[in-house]
Amino acid sequence: MNQSIKHIGVFTSGGDSPGMNAVLYAIAKAAEANGIKATGIRKGYEGLIDGDFMSLETHQLQKLVHKGGTILKTARSKRFMELEGRKKALQTLKINNIDALIAIGGDGTFRGLLAFSEICDIPFIGIPGTIDNDISGTDYTLGFDSAVNTAIENIDKIRDTAESHNRVFVIELMGRDSGYIAIHSGLVVGADAILIPESGRDFIYLLDKVKSYDSEDAFLIVVSEGDEIGAELLASKINEVNSSVDLRITRLGHVQRGGNPSALDRMLGIRFGVAAVEQLLNGNKNKMVGLLNNELYLTPFEEVVKQHQVNDELQKLLELFGK
Amino acid sequence: MNQSIKHIGVFTSGGDSPGMNAVLYAIAKAAEANGIKATGIRKGYEGLIDGDFMSLETHQLQKLVHKGGTILKTARSKRFMELEGRKKALQTLKINNIDALIAIGGDGTFRGLLAFSEICDIPFIGIPGTIDNDISGTDYTLGFDSAVNTAIENIDKIRDTAESHNRVFVIELMGRDSGYIAIHSGLVVGADAILIPESGRDFIYLLDKVKSYDSEDAFLIVVSEGDEIGAELLASKINEVNSSVDLRITRLGHVQRGGNPSALDRMLGIRFGVAAVEQLLNGNKNKMVGLLNNELYLTPFEEVVKQHQVNDELQKLLELFGK
Amino acid sequence: MNQSIKHIGVFTSGGDSPGMNAVLYAIAKAAEANGIKATGIRKGYEGLIDGDFMSLETHQLQKLVHKGGTILKTARSKRFMELEGRKKALQTLKINNIDALIAIGGDGTFRGLLAFSEICDIPFIGIPGTIDNDISGTDYTLGFDSAVNTAIENIDKIRDTAESHNRVFVIELMGRDSGYIAIHSGLVVGADAILIPESGRDFIYLLDKVKSYDSEDAFLIVVSEGDEIGAELLASKINEVNSSVDLRITRLGHVQRGGNPSALDRMLGIRFGVAAVEQLLNGNKNKMVGLLNNELYLTPFEEVVKQHQVNDELQKLLELFGK
Amino acid sequence: MNQSIKHIGVFTSGGDSPGMNAVLYAIAKAAEANGIKATGIRKGYEGLIDGDFMSLETHQLQKLVHKGGTILKTARSKRFMELEGRKKALQTLKINNIDALIAIGGDGTFRGLLAFSEICDIPFIGIPGTIDNDISGTDYTLGFDSAVNTAIENIDKIRDTAESHNRVFVIELMGRDSGYIAIHSGLVVGADAILIPESGRDFIYLLDKVKSYDSEDAFLIVVSEGDEIGAELLASKINEVNSSVDLRITRLGHVQRGGNPSALDRMLGIRFGVAAVEQLLNGNKNKMVGLLNNELYLTPFEEVVKQHQVNDELQKLLELFGK
């Protein structure tokens, strides 16, 4: 056990995701159990530079496990991308006797820590928090399950009106570089077609299918925002091949980022938070904790990358259901 | 009591709204209690012309009270706008011994019935079904409460992410001609500004408020799709007066039409459905049932109009909270 | 306008109900708009006696409109029932320059204020907050709509499993003296029977209906906790008349009190809060604000009573649907 | 590939669980893709004996993925426990040319199939469907995630009222033999104590903790129905050690079984359904498909047992958070 760690700083960085507050609760509990102090750093790297801190009380955090977003707030920091900013952050850490850091964020967050590690020797542990579920080294990222649940609850609503009017709906879901949210959501709402960046040729199949669509029922198309076709072009192509369709476009947008985290994300947050504290105490550093095959797994920051691949099973399901 | 009525036809028309299936349940129950047959007509006026019918069994409908949309489906009908189509519909009614009609829809639906009444002497009763709540003669239209609940549950989610990033959100809600959904939703999510078509001058106030916004918290703007400014133009105006804001636009879109109806809309549907059957049996015709001051109220179809006015109390609340 | 009012104290008392935080938001806003100070008093009459105060900031409350419960907390106070306690409360008010009071609670809360008015001459306004909707002078009490929505969302879930097993469910809902929650909920979930205290003879009808129940579908019985029969006795009576039924009992319990308030309750809270401040400024006192026929209405505290009657329309609906 | 399989029968058995309809959708799709017929058997083994069948149309099932319960209904069958009943079932299968069976249910269901296999040589595949998550050979059973989500959404509501009154709540969750639902739910709602059958000594800790509870906040105790103490006894013990606590008991009951399945359960249902068809076609039989470490895994029916163990990580989390 790394007995030199007495005070852990925690921050959230990059896009927020449901479950981040559960992580804070777990870190505070685990720190308390180990006789360590835990301090929240507000607004990501900005607060690290400026010393914008708040105390993490288990008693308060216990009531916030179910709350979406992050009470620490999050921000992108231009200053931290400069050496000057990182030096300032180091100074802030030293002044405040913070001797370990836990960061919740995406691959960009961890690259920031890598850069920081060149001048700062205190240990860092990262926790993958992004709704996109596109980070290597973990089967689940924090927030993905909640985002999919929010998406499907809304698409279930759209189904009601789509069936009532026998309409075609193009529903665009989040995922700039990754189709995970779209493929998961599309499969489980019974979508008629799913378009994701990882799968190039669905588009033609879709048009074939729409061509013979007889307007006697709903027809739901779920498309990832990262798919190159885009909702508007898709809509116009559909109207080209079948002018009788009554089509609407819905972009769910940022509702997918918020809301009370799902049971799975809260649990993930708790497991990640406890693991992060333990790994620091075990002497680990500059690694991301993840869950692979339901086991905690560590990935060195330099190996954490965006992971685009939809795996074979998902591809097969897409083949079977999504077109 | 109009003893000649033995068989009521029911259809939904125009845009669907949550609670329509509750109406069908109530009509079936009330018809059954009065020894009358009730038949569902599918796809609005289209089914009336084509004789596209389905039976309404209380036993089945009882399980569908909670289901959004309309199991009868709804559609707009060009054919019914022609005399030819209406004649065909009349013939269909006669052949099938339907001697009374209940229509659930908006002002357009009732205008259709008025035109139909010129050649058809069977009695009609209308039920106001539209999420926009913009029909005279009733304090509530069917679906409005559900649409607002769906809107605010989603905006509550957006608040999570908006607060996490200290972002400005422009959230566009439905209501092409009316700001009811937007004003109700905006007030109850604690919006910082609400823009509706009924209120011309909020825009300037809003820009003043945004000018001094310091990016230290969420700033939520709820705008009705009917407001002339539009989300994109609004966003660019905001960036003009305060270039530091981090702004996102979300259009909730058709999710507001679907989903399980709220308690109020289900109850409204039940009250409207029972009342419609009773009014037919009481010998009433060519009127819309509504609720004014919590009492059932009848409005002749010719007097049913779109009602744009946000009343004085709402205007005052808008003044107080919405800017 | 009562220009002498400069500082309003606000407290919640009795059982909590969803929408109370919306009232606080509205009071703070309205006070701010009128240049008046508003202070929150914690734990009902207890805080009034002890001077347990918290400031009400519109900026903070705006984020809590959607939050169930009451951030002021609520409690029953034995001390305030004694003259001694009320004298202490008066002293606390004077010391803190509070020159008007708004209380959110039920009929018991208002009786407390009446007693207080014998020794205290500052004006009081009451707001009806109880999920039971059993207070005279208002069509809706704060929290009723949310409680019904929570109840029906859960009963919809129970329907899933009841239909899967062809089971009889006895579902007990809140309402010690009143069947409002039960009758509203029962009607809109398509219940097969509804038992409420206001209606004595349903029980026999129910047993008749159950006798011929063939276990080929769900059979849902909604019973108010105030109905004298009680879920257990009812269950045993049912098994007596039809031993083949597979019966389960569910008591939803306190979940009906909590949760994010519905759109209607939030709006009600806002309207009540603004009206309470205005009525104080208009020189009114010792009255409860209510909504009758969608208009604000004032009832002197001495006339506020528990109102048991389910009105004629509801009785008729119960007759039609509930047995 | 087992080319002799032309017609698969599917049934749900034992307690229903959310996600069963997603399985049916997936089986229908996979059967269709392989040119095989799939038939639904109603009411579990009862329908197998009686030939109570319904067709499984992908087009219809696609709209029901989000629906809780099972459209095939489920039942326990005394007749199938007798050899006579199983012989009758065999005959029914032969007459209807069903040459493979998929059963969704718990360990009891699979034991039934084992007994059946003694006289019936057609292949069976089982899918673990139970909210209790207590079956060996799979990390997740169908319905568990939905049950936990329903539980925590309701406990979040209870927290609102518990915090408003500074009350102690004892919340009993399902799980006759297993504390999975309780431990998962308790951890992620920030419970103050969690009691499960797998952990004997928490009770003393709990009383110690309650002894020093100062009634200045909510205190939530989540207890599994399988824990020997029971909610009532627990409540009386608590009142013994601290008579000042204001305590309420809530049993969530059967709401945990119903409701729209979560994203995870729908996906699980789809994966299980597709896998079951594939395994039959691959020549496998008399095995349960499961997910271990995110990979599909087969367990012979004779090895499927109830699995009580809460694993080490959960025990550690319980130690850290639950007392």
Question: Which chain D residues are Cβ-neighbours of C44 within 8 angstroms?
Answer: none
Contact state of A164 with B73 under an 8 Å Cβ cutoff: yes
What pLDDT does C190 receive? 97
Closest residue in chain D to residue A269, using alpha carbons only: D188
Rounded to 10°, the helix D263-281/D144-165 angle is 170
Q: If you average pLDDT over residues B89-106, what whole number do you get?
A: 97
Parallel, antiparallel, or unpaired for β C287-292 and A247-251?
unpaired
What pLDDT does D74 receive? 97
CA distance C19 to A6: 43
Distance between C39 CA and the closest CA of chain B, angstroms = 19
Q: If you average pLDDT over residues C66-74, what whole number do you get?
A: 98
Closest residue in chain C to residue D20, using alpha carbons only: C164
- Interface chains of chain A (3 or more CB pairs under 8 Å): B, D
- Option in D12, D150, D250 nearest C254 (CB): D250
Measuring CA to CA, how many Å separate B104 from each of A87, B9, B18? 68, 11, 12
Question: Which chain C residues are Cβ-neighbours of B205 within 8 angstroms?
Answer: none
Q: If you average pLDDT over residues B78-106, what whole number do you get?
A: 97
Answer whether residue D323 shows pLDDT above 80. Answer: no
Question: Which chain B residues are Cβ-neighbours of C184 within 8 angstroms?
Answer: 263, 267
Q: Determine if residue B22 is labeled as part of a ligand binding site.
A: no
**Phi, psi values for residue D95, rounded to 5°:** -55, -35
Answer whether residue B154 shows pLDDT above 70. Answer: yes
CA distance B256 to B180: 13
Domains along the sequence of chain A with CATH: 7-143+261-303 (3.40.50.450), 145-257 (3.40.50.460)
- Option in D156, D190, D320 nearest A62 (CB): D190
pLDDT tens across A112-144, in order?
999 999 999 999 999 999 999 999 999 999 999
What pLDDT does C310 receive? 83
C208 is catalytic: no
What pLDDT does C202 receive? 67
CA distance D211 to D244: 10
| Amino acid identity for residue C273 in this structure | G
CA distance B230 to B203: 11
Q: If you average pLDDT over residues A66-91, what whole number do you get?
A: 97
**Phi, psi values for residue A154, rounded to 5°:** -75, -40
What pLDDT does C205 receive? 83
> How many Cα atoms are found within 13 Å in the side-chain-facing hemisphere of D231?
20
Answer whether residue C3 shows pLDDT above 80. Answer: no
- Option in C33, C153, C190 nearest B320 (CB): C33
Assign B1 a pLDDT band (cuts: 50, 70, 90).
low
CA distance B296 to D133: 51
Q: Determine if residue A190 is labeled as part of a ligand binding site.
A: yes
Question: Which chain B residues are Cβ-neighbours of A164 within 8 angstroms?
Answer: 12, 16, 20, 69-70, 73-74
Distance between C121 CA and the closest CA of chain B, angstroms = 30
Q: If you average pLDDT over residues D100-122, what whole number do you get?
A: 97
- Separation of first and last alpha carbons in chain B: 53
Sheet strand arrangement including B295-300: B53-55, B37-41, B7-12, B100-105, B124-128, B287-292, B295-300
Marked catalytic residue, from C16, C50, C121, C132: C132
Burial of D222-239, coded b for 16+ CB within 10 Å and e otherwise, reads bbbbbbebebeebbeebe
Contact state of C258 with D165 under an 8 Å Cβ cutoff: no
Contact state of C165 with D248 under an 8 Å Cβ cutoff: no
Question: Which chain D residues are Cβ-neighbours of C156 within 8 angstroms?
Answer: 258-259
C26 close to C62: Cβ distance less than 8 angstroms: no
Comparing B18 with B4, which gets the higher pLDDT? B18
Marked catalytic residue, from D16, D132, D134, D202: D132
pLDDT tens across C162-201, in order?
999 999 999 999 998 889 999 999 999 999 999 998 876 5
CA distance A48 to A93: 7
What pLDDT does D181 receive? 96
SS3 D221: strand
C157 close to D259: Cβ distance less than 8 angstroms: yes
Of D16, D5, D10, D6, nearest to D257 by C-alpha is D16
Rounded to the nearest 10°, the torsion over CA B250, B256, B258, B264 is 150
Of D276, D270, D263, D172, nearest to D224 by C-alpha is D172
- Option in D169, D251, D258 nearest C161 (CB): D258
CA distance A145 to A141: 8
Q: If you average pLDDT over residues D167-173, what whole number do you get?
A: 97
CA distance B26 to B273: 5
Binding residues of C for ADP: 159, 190-192
CA distance D12 to D85: 17
Assign B200 a pLDDT band (cuts: 50, 70, 90).
low
Rounded to 10°, the helix B231-241/B202-211 angle is 40
Question: Which chain C residues are Cβ-neighbours of B61 within 8 angstroms?
Answer: 190
pLDDT tens across A267-292, in order?
999 999 999 999 999 999 999 999 99
Residue whose pair of structure tokens reads 């989300």 in the numeric block: B231
pLDDT tens across C82-140, in order?
999 999 999 999 999 999 999 999 999 999 999 999 999 999 999 999 999 999 999 99
Q: Determine if residue D176 is labeled as part of a ligand binding site.
A: yes
Assign B265 a pLDDT band (cuts: 50, 70, 90).
very high
pLDDT tens across C240-291, in order?
999 999 999 999 999 999 999 999 999 999 999 999 999 999 999 999 999 9
Degrees, nearest 5: CA angle D178-D179-D182: 145
CA distance C82 to C80: 5
Task: Quote ipTM for the complex.
Answer: 0.96
- Interface chains of chain B (3 or more CB pairs under 8 Å): A, C
What pLDDT does C1 receive? 60
- Option in A169, A249, A258 nearest B160 (CB): A258
Closest residue in chain C to residue B291, using alpha carbons only: C293
In this prediction the pTM is 0.97
SS3 D278: helix
Contact state of C158 with D252 under an 8 Å Cβ cutoff: no
